[in-house]
Amino acid sequence: MSKLSQACKAAVLAAGFLAAAGAAGAQEANVNDPHQWLEEVEGEEALDWVRARNAEAEAELANTPEFRQLKADLRAILDSDAKIPGVQKIGEYYYNFWKDAQHERGLWRRTTLEEYRKDEPAWETVLDLDALNAAEGENWVWHGANCLEPEYRRCLVALSRGGADADVTREFDLVEKDWVEGGFFREEAKGGMSWINQDTVYVFTDFGEGSMTESGYPRVLKQLSRGQSMDEAVTIYEGQADDMYIAGYRDLTPGYVRDFVSRTLAFYNDELYLRTDDGSLARVDAPNSANKSVFREWLALELREPWTVEGATYPAGSLIVTKFDDFMDGGRDFTVLFEPTERSSLAGFTVTRNHVVLNVLEDVKNSIVVLTPSDSGEWDRRPFGDQEGIGTLFVSAVDSDHSDAVWVTESGYLVPTTLSIADVSTDAPPQPLKSNPAFFDASTHEVEQHFATSEDGTRVPYFLVRPKDMPTDGSTPTLLYGYGGFEIPMLPGYSATVGKGWLEKGGAYVVANIRGGGEYGPRWHQAALKANRHKAYEDFAAVAKDLVATGVTSPEKLGIQGGSNGGLLMGNMLTQYPELFGAVVVQVPLLDMQRYHKLLAGASWMAEYGNPDKPEEWEFIRTFSPYHLYDPAKDYPPTLFTTSTRDDRVHPGHARKMMAKMMEGGEDVRYYENIEGGHGGAANNQQAAHMSALAYTFLWNQLND
């Protein structure tokens, strides 16, 4: 994927549901919601309520030696000096952002490749966030750096208060290892800043009234010169209020410098414009639903819908390429680099200096293919690497502008992650660089893949990590995890916290690859959009039923967990299938689907869930709005809600209001809200360990009564 496409996607994603039908009915229901006061994120009354709930949850879960030991074990894993320090090549150095017990907020540091190959590399600290916080009296959380090539001296560093999506941008000098006095600066907001040259940047942020979309993201793109105030910045593009996100970037690839404007209307619905020398914008006239990537001389389109052009039809899920300049001149001669089958999909691709490397999934197991353009106009292809068993092999470019080197990451549920480096222009095997230690004893477990049959007959895969000596009498405590949204696949990977917090205790762990995700490409995602959302929930229930039918577990021994869109999944499992589960953990969730589009970034998800203000759409949204599906006359399994005050993506009011409603109904519920943490739920390792220990302790206690 091109640097442009990665930047746009990162900006959007970092940025990227039975009352009477009708808007009048929805409005009346909102007015009569007795818990709406809990949406006041930092209101003193609401925070007093939060503190009281937190105290109750901690009194139940956190005051035992077992909890304290688990939390300490998880903290030790997160703080471990032995874990792989992932690096990014910036100029001649390899940069890493590192957190441990001594550096809770983290160090931005660098080394050379020669040093990095050593067991204990010598690191040079570039920026110490803990020291910065102490000096400035802040609680900054690292959001990344964008460094200007080819000198790679000046960087635009993004910092967030407490882990929120909103952040500030500050200019940093990598030679002086200090902030640039009077340098580029962006006030706290959702948005960003990107380089044009050393004295000019694109900025997309909150410029004042009318400059943000209804989703709370930038609507206006401006060009800012060094020394100018934001008021003096020149408007380049202005989107509509109901757009999702506007951004601008310069692709600085040597020999192929181009400027682009990205207009995201909704998830998987965007327009891309080339900014010409005279400042005018020329649209890249490809389908809005296609993911558009420009790299060197090529334009690549990942199609999410079938596209017929110049007499040729390319199916959804395909990756097609053509020469970018030819396309802009009207040419439509494409080469197909990937075409899906019923069982295969494209999980992504990376671009090196001379190659395109595909990550292909077949029944959620991946393989890597290296493609090379030839003089004849065709693309040669060959397999790369060898992934044995159930695991994930991931490849990413080291330096797409200058080399064919790639990072190769291998991981599995029971196999610690390893990192290697390879040159995809040769047949030489990858050279191992780093490996995580075994953070838990995996010798007692094994991994299997199974398929459940959903209500409509669809075959739904899932992974089962189980004790080798597991009886098939339904007695094994089992944790089932799912997400099922936004075309995000759930792939096998090593989770030390799952291993230490669950598997070592003797539990089984299951990941469900339900519709709504991306395991089988766009068709798998689109199968559970809007009015078809119920199919994702039917898939998850089918996996739960299959685990019981095969004797892995029983309803009273089956716990479930999910966050964000997965929190919505958990809410629907809780309210629609309560009889299937013994315990539920609902993390940073969406739950009130009547008001979700009015809270924080909620409006940006209407392409996924629908618009509750439209009577015909509220008719189906209300069927998967847990806040409205809750019925105090029913029996529900024990439940833990967790969220974060500083989550400015999914409003904490969802979890607060659901907790309050179920408390009133006398249900077996508890609640914990981290005051920091953003959408990830934790701003440092201590908080992350605490949140995980609460969830695992709750689940183990409930499933082993």
Q: Which residue numbers are catalytic?
A: 564, 679
CB 569 within 8 A of CB 648: no
3 state SS for 28-97: HHHHCCCCHHHHCCCCHHHHHHHHHHHHHHHHHHCCCHHHHHHHHHHHHHHHCCCCCCCCEEECCEEEEE
Which residues, listed in sequence order, are joined to residue 372 by a DSSP beta bridge?
380
Q: Which DSSP string corresponds to 667-704?
A: -SEEEEEESS-GGGT-SSHHHHHHHHHHHHHHHHHHHT
Cβ(246)–Cβ(221) below 8 Å: yes
Of 684, 658, 651, give the one whose Cα is nearest residue 215: 651
Cα three-residue angle 478-521-323, rounded to 5 degrees: 150
Please state, as a whole number, how many other Cβ atoms lie within 10 Å of the Cβ of residue 82.
Answer: 12
Distance CA 196, CA 24 (A): 48
Residues 38-42: contacts with CB under 8 Å, at least 24 apart: 38/653, 38/656, 38/657, 38/660, 39/595, 39/599, 39/651, 39/653, 39/656, 39/657, 41/645, 41/651, 41/652, 41/653, 42/645
Q: Number of H helices and number of E strands within the chain?
A: 16, 39
User: By the 8 A CB rule, do 356 and 371 touch?
Assistant: yes
CB 169 within 8 A of CB 163: no
Q: Which two tokens stand for residue 133?
A: 């916080």
414 and 447 Cβ atoms separated by less than 8 Å: yes
Q: How many CA atoms lie within 13 A of 171 on its CB side?
A: 19
Residue-wise over 422-446: b if at least 16 C-beta within 10 A, else e? Answer: bbbeeeeebeebbbbeebbebeebb
Q: Quick count: other Cβ atoms within 10 Å of Cβ 199?
A: 12
208: left (phi over 0), alpha (psi -120 to 50) or beta: left
CA-CA-CA-CA torsion for 62, 642, 652, 97, nearest 10 degrees? 90
Question: In 282-360, which ranges are continuous DSSP H helix?
Answer: 324-328
What DSSP string describes 232-284? GPEEEEE--TT--EEEEEEE--TT--EEEEEEEEETTEEEEEEE-TTS-EEE-
Buried b / exposed e across 513-526, counting CB within 10 Å, b at 16+?
bbbbbbbbbbbbbb
